[in-house]
Structure 1
Amino acid sequence: MLQLERRQHIMNKLGVQGTVHIERIASDLGVSSMTIRRDLASLEKEGKLVRSHGGAILPERMAQEIPYQTKLSSYKDEKELIAKKAAEIIPANAKVLLDSGTTNLEIAKLIKTRDDLLIVTNDAKISMELLNSDSEVISTGGKLQKDIGAFMGTHVQTLLKQIRVDMVFLGANAIDLNGDISTPSMEKALIKKLMLESATMKWVVADHSKFNRRAFAHVCHLSTINGIITDNQLEQDDRKKLEQETNLY
C-alpha cells in the first residue's frame, strides 16, 4: 500500500473511532509498527492528529473545561454507578476529600446522611449538597471558577498543604492509555497534586468518556494511585492496558 493510502486509511479510522492503535493499524495494513509510527509522526506535524502512547487521537479529543450545567446531564447513569462503587469503599469514621466535579457530586449525595465522616471539598455545588449533612464538612473556599464551580487559588492550595485525609476521590478530565492523568490548566493540576499528597488512599473517579484523552497539564501517572473507579462502558482492549498500571473497578 502506498504511503498516501496508508495515511488516508489512518485518518478514516480516526474519523470513525476518534482513536487508532499502532499495532492494530499495522496488522490491518500488513506493514511494520515502525512504518505506522512514521506515518503518525508526519500526520501530527500536519496538525491532523495528536500522538498518544500506542496510537493517536484526533486534536478535538484533547480535553477542555466543560461548564457544570453541561456535565450534570452527561453520562448521569454512569456517574451514579461510579458513585455507588465509591461510597461502598468509604470506611467508618473516615476523613474524605472530594475533588470538584459532577461524579463526586453523586458521591456526596450518597454519603451526606452518614454521621461518622469528615468531608472536605473544593466544589461549590458539593458544598451546597452537604449543607445539611450529618457529617462534619469543610469547604475550602477560594476563588470560584466561573461556570465550573470549583474553588481555586492560593487559599485552596494552603489548606490542602495543611490537612491529611484517609482517602481522596480525584476527578479526571483526561486519562490516556499510557496511564497519564491530565487536566486543562496548570493551576488545577497543582491542586489535584496537593490533594493526592494529602491522602493515604488515592482513588480516581472517571466515566468512560474521560479515557483515551489528553489535556494540557500533567497531574500524575496511574501507578501512583490505588485505583480507578469507572463504569462498564470502557473498551476491553483499553481496560486491559490500564489494568497493567493500576486497579480498575
Structure 2
Amino acid sequence: MLPSERQKKIVGLLATKDVITISELMAAFDISIETVRRDLNLLEKQGSIQKVYGGAKLKDISLGEPTLENRMVDRIVQKKAIGIKCSQFINDGDCIFIDSGSTTFHIAKQLTHKKNLTIITNSIPVVNELINTDFEIIIIGGKIRHNERSVVTYDYIFNFAGLNIQKSFICASGITVENGVSDFNMQEAVTRKIIIERSKEVFVAADSSKFLRDVTINIAPLDKINYLITDSQLNRNIASSFKKTKTMLILAED
C-alpha cells in the first residue's frame, strides 16, 4: 500500500472514532511504530489531524461554542449516563450547584426521588425541569445569555459570599491533564471559578469528546477538581494519563 493511500485510510478511520491509538494503527495496517509516527507527523503538518497522547484524532475545525440546541441532542445516551452517575453522589439534604449545559441538565432529570435538596443554578432549563418539585431553588442573579439559556452573574447583583455549597457540578468544553478544564465564554467561566472556590467538592461532568481539548478560557487546574465524570467511550490511553493526577476519573456506563 502506498503511503499516501494509507494516510487517507488513517483519516477515514479517525472519522469513525474520537481517538485512535498508535498501537491500533500499527495493527490495522501491519506497520511499525516509526511508520505510524511518520504518517501522523505528515498528516498533522497537512492540518488533517491532531496528535494526542498515545495516538491521534481529527483536527477540531470548530471556531466556537456549539449551540445549546445542538448539544442537547448530541451524545444524549452518554450524557444521560453521566447524569445518572452524578446523581449517585447527591444525598438527601445536600446543597448543590448545577451548572448550565447539556450534560449537567441530565443531572436535574435524575433528582426527583431525592429529598430536601437546595439547588443553586444559573441554568434556565434546570429551573424549568425542577420547578414543580419542593426543592429550594436559588437562581443566581445577572444577565440572561439567550443562546445558552443561562444567567451570567455580576458581583453587584449576586453575593456569592453567602453560599455554602457542598457539591458543585460544573460543565467544561475542554479538559487536559496539563491545563485542567476550560470553556468558551468569559462570563460563564467567571461564574464557574467563583463556584469552585465556594464548593467543598467539585465535580466536572463532561462527555468524552471534551478530553484533550483546550478552548478559549481556562476555568481551573485539575488540582481544584475532585472528580471528573465522563462516559465509557473515553479512550483507555487518555484515561490512563489522568492516573498521575489527584482528580478521580469516573466512567459512567451507558
TM-score normalised over the length of structure 2:
0.77
5+ residue gaps in structure 1? none
Number of the residue aligned with 2:149: 149
Distance 1:65 1:159, change over 3 A: farther
Select between 4-13 and 153-162 the one with higher mean Cα deviation. Answer: 4-13
Report what 2:130 is aligned to. Answer: 130
Greater helix proportion? 1
Judge which range, 4-13 or 231-240, deviates more. 4-13
1:85: Cα distance to partner?
1.5
Contact 1:185/1:216 (CA < 8 Å) preserved in 2?
yes
- Structure 2, unaligned stretches of length 5 or more? none
| Residue pair 2:205, 2:228 contacting (<8 A) in 1 also | yes
> In 1, Cα distance between the equivalents of 2:115 and 2:15?
50
- Residue 197 of structure 1 deviates from its aligned partner by 0.6
Distance change (3 Å), C-alpha of 1:219 and 1:6:
farther
Shift of 1:131: 0.9
CA distance in 1, matches of 2:187, 2:52: 23
Q: String of CA shifts for 1:134-161, please: whole Å, max 9, x gaps.
A: 1110011322222211211415984334
Report the AA paired with residue 124 of structure 1.
I
Q: Work out whether 1:169 is the aligned partner of 2:201.
A: no
The superposition leaves residues 84-108 of structure 1 with CA deviations (integer Å, 9 ceiling, x where unpaired) of 2211111232110001112222211
Structure 2 Cα separation of the partners of residues 237 and 113 of structure 1: 36
Q: Is the 8 A contact 1:10 1:20 kept in 2?
A: no
Matched, 1:185 2:178: no
- Residue type matched to 1:101 in 2? G
C-alpha spacing 1:122/1:233, structure 2 compared with 1 (3 Å): same
CA RMSD of aligned residues (A): 3.6
What is the CA–CA distance in structure 2 between the aligned matches of 1:107 and 1:227, rounded to whole Å? 15
8 Å contact from structure 1 (residues 140, 156) kept in 2: no
Say whether residues 1:225 and 2:214 are aligned partners: no
> Structure 1 residues 50-59 or 62-71, which shifts more?
50-59
1:247 maps to: 248
Q: How far, CA to CA, are the matches of 2:106 and 2:16 in structure 1?
A: 32
Aligned length: 247
Give the distance between the partners of 1:139 and 1:229, measured in 2 at CA.
Answer: 24
Corresponding residue number in structure 1 for 2:90: 90
Give the residue type in structure 2 aligned to 1:227. Answer: Y
Question: Aligned in 2, Cα 1:178/1:8: closer, same or farther, shift over 3 Å?
Answer: farther
d(CA) in 1 for partners of 2:217 and 2:140? 22
The equivalent residue for 2:65 is: 65
Deviates more, 1:8-17 or 1:63-72: 8-17
Give the equivalent residue in structure 1 for 2:118: 118
**TM-score when scaled to structure 1?**
0.78
Distance 1:58 1:180, change over 3 A: farther
Letter in 2 for 1:70: N
Q: Which moved more, 1:182-191 or 1:6-15?
A: 6-15
2:174 maps to amino acid: A
Kept after mapping to 1: 8 A contact 2:92/2:115: no
- Residues 172 and 185 of structure 1, relative CA distance in 2, 3 Å threshold: same
